[in-house]
Amino acid sequence: MPTIHTDPPTLYAERSDWADVTPQAQYENVNPLAPIFYTEEYKDATDYFRAIVKSGEMSERVLELTENIIRQNPAHYTAWQYRYKTLLTIKAPLDVELRLMDELAVKHLKTYQVWHHRRLLLTETRKPVPELAFIARSLKADEKNYHTWSYRQWLLAYFNDDELWDGELEFVERMLKGDIRNNSAWHHRFFIVFQSGTRKGDEDRDEVVRRELAYVKQSISQAPNNASAWNYLRGVLDHSHTPYSTLQLFVQLYTVPHSPGETAVEVIDLENPPPSKDSQLPCPAAIEFLADIYELEGGNGIPKATELWKSLANEHDTIRKKYWEYRIREALQSTGP
């Protein structure tokens, strides 16, 4: 979208410091199929850009020109690339460039180029620590932005610095505290806890698994109808080869409606935190989990699982009726005649 100025913009065609350049108009011969609706300003800037690319000029004023284009059209990938080449060639201060990128990133969070350019700058400056704060600020504007989270994961893995990793668990807990349903945060948690090697203090992997199970159960207790938390739970169990059956007592609490006249539990069972008062029960994900436990049992477990799948198909998760019917058929087939 072109920027709206209060004063009319000075076109490059009108500037004396660009008088030495002959602007190159768009292709002359071909009638494009879907012509862009240009503003005068954008046409002027890109005409001068074409001229610069042709002559191979790399200078301060090229930085000004590419910044102009990028502000109008952040997805103009050729402008980004040429800008980067220019920055390196004229040895422009990359810290300054990063500050400019901070501003642009906020406006253009969903543009691939903004993030890739940033990665390129970081591989040059090699100062990743301040990026963590920048990323956290970015996320305030869009907490699930895919590029932002992916950039954070890249930064951590690429530099692989203890100083970077150290504050991550705390960071992700803050994000989850802000929104327990943030799937990106749950994914990031798995990434830092289980996919980044062993951090100092986490050498006891069994303890780490126990801690994570406690955390996810607490989260489920707070907000049971949260797909991310249940996916995380399964992920932890699969990763640690912990049988699903060990969660049976916990899960069962979520498969039944709240009882009328329910009073607060007197003894808090830390292993099996119950559903919060205002949560919607029964929780379909819990029913599904319990059915998986019964199915794994085999034998008498199969009819019990089937009952639960039927309740999902007919009542609790009707949109996935065909999936639940598939589960019933598969289980019957495997038990045989």
Partner 1 sequence: MSSESQLLIPLHVSYIKALGDNKDDLAYHMTTHLRMNAIYWGLTALCIMGHKEALDRQETIDFVMSCWDEDAGAFGAHPDHDAHILSTLSAIQILVTHDALDMIDVPRVAKYILSLQQPSGVFAGDSFGETDTRFIYCAVNALSLLGHLSDLDVEKTVSYIRRCKNFDGGFGARIGAESHAAQVFVCVAALAILDKLDEVDQQTLSWWLAERQLPNGGLNGRPEKLEDVCYSFWVLSSLSILNKISWIDSEKLTSFILSAQESENGGIADRPGDMPDVFHTHFGVAGLSLLGYPGLADLDPVYCMPADLIVSKGLRKSWKALERRTE
Q: Which stretch binds partner 1 (CB under 8 A): 126-134, 202-210, 235-243, 271-279?
A: 235-243
Does position 239 interact with partner 1 (CB under 8 A)? The reply is yes
Q: Which stretch binds partner 1 (CB under 8 A): 30-38, 167-175, 261-269, 275-283?
A: 30-38
Beta carbon of residue 68, minimum distance to partner 1 (angstroms, whole number): 16
Based on CB atoms, which residue is closest to partner 1, 159 or 194?
194
Based on CB atoms, which residue is closest to partner 1, 127 or 146?
146
User: In the structure encoding, which two tokens stand for residue 115, read together?
Assistant: 């993030």
Q: Of 13, 57, 61, 77, which one interacts with partner 1 (CB under 8 A)?
A: 77
Residues 6 or more apart in contact with residue 205 via CB below 8 angstroms = 198, 240
Does position 195 interact with partner 1 (CB under 8 A)? The reply is yes
Does position 148 interact with partner 1 (CB under 8 A)? The reply is no
User: In the structure encoding, which two tokens stand for residue 154, read together?
Assistant: 């890249």
Based on CB atoms, which residue is closest to partner 1, 40 or 323?
323
Asked whether the bond before 273 is cis by omega within 30 degrees of 0, the reply is no
User: In the structure encoding, which two tokens stand for residue 23, read together?
Assistant: 């602007």
Distances (CA, A) of 283 to 4, 75, 213, 223: 50, 43, 19, 10
Does position 234 interact with partner 1 (CB under 8 A)? The reply is yes
DSSP 17-64: GGTT-----S-SS---SS-----HHHHHHHHHHHHHHHHT--SHHHHH
Cβ atoms of 63 and 86 closer than 8 Å: yes
Nearest to 281 by CA among 254, 301, 251: 254
Based on CB atoms, which residue is closest to partner 1, 42 or 254?
42
Could you give the CA distance from residue 195 to residue 157 in angstroms, rounded to a whole number?
Answer: 10
Q: Of 43, 61, 191, 274, which one interacts with partner 1 (CB under 8 A)?
A: 191
Residues in contact with partner 1 by CB under 8 A are: 1, 26-27, 29-37, 46, 50, 73, 75-78, 80-81, 84, 112-113, 116, 119-120, 144, 146, 149-150, 153-154, 157, 181-184, 187-188, 190-191, 194-195, 226-228, 231-232, 234-235, 238-239, 319-323, 326
